[in-house]
Amino acid sequence: NAGVTQTPKFRVLKTGQSMTLLCAQDMNHEYMYWYRQDPGMGLRLIHYSVGEGTTAKGEVPDGYNVSRLKKQNFLLGLESAAPSQTSVYFCASSYSRSQRRVPDTQYFGPGTRLTVL
Amino acid sequence: QQQVKQSPQSLIVQKGGISIINCAYENTAFDYFPWYQQFPGKGPALLIAIRPDVSEKKEGRFTISFNKSAKQFSLHIMDSQPGDSATYFCAAIEFTGNQFYFGTGTSLTVIP
């Protein structure tokens, strides 16, 4: 099992450019999440998905869009990148409560370091 | 508003000592409190977790103490080792409302 994988690992964008970050998991998890990690801010939830075809906003959703067309994939899009979006982005996945009787943990990918100039 | 407040921001401990990291929360609806360990260049990984109906959970050298009335929980690392040097995050989760909040992290350095 690869667990949670993220592509790309690094990316540099110019202000106004767009890009898509891909997250894939092979654990049959229902839930998937996108976080950003900034110094002194910890991890902040951008968007999440509780199943294929469904997405919801997290704590800091502005400037980002997501799609969950397949259960194993969760895409994060930046339509017009801004320097404030320079960050490390982590994807995570977990079972849903219907899949397991007790709350489960989130499994994180290795991260994507994005720099917006 | 920070939903989960974590302290200290950084911590230096001698090998063999006890490392203590504290977190506090406000929302009594949280029903799961995990701690994550993160090494440089890696994603966070679950270390240990507790539910609010338990006051303490121990796994090896790692212990979570949970005080429901004070809305605080802490991570204790006994016999700290240089290999424990990492950033530690607490989190508070409410599954029904899909609320997921992390603390700001504590950078732990264990000196040999």
Question: Which one of B43, B101, B104 has the shortest CB-CB distance to A108?
Answer: B43
Q: Is B54 exposed, middle or buried, given 0-12, 13-18 or 19+ CB atoms closer than 10 A?
A: exposed
Q: Three-state SS for A1? A: coil
Tens of pLDDT along A19-40?
A: 999 999 999 999 999 999 998 8
Q: Per the CB < 8 Å rule, is B42 touching A43?
A: no
The answer, yes or no, to whether residue A97 has pLDDT greater than 70, is: no
Which chain A residues touch B31 with a CB distance below 8 Å? 103
Residue B82 above 70 pLDDT? yes
User: Which SS3 state, helix, strand or coil, does residue B83 take?
Assistant: helix
Q: What would the pLDDT profile of A66-76 be if each residue is shown by its tens digit?
A: 999 999 999 99
Q: Determine, for residues A45 and B101 on separate chains, whether the beta-carbon distance falls below 8 Å.
A: yes
Per-residue model confidence as pLDDT tens digits over B27-65: 999 989 999 999 999 999 999 999 999 999 999 999 999
Is the pLDDT confidence value at A54 over 90? yes
Measured in Å, how far apart are chain A's first and last C-alpha atoms?
36
The percent of residues above 90 in pLDDT, for chain A, comes to 79
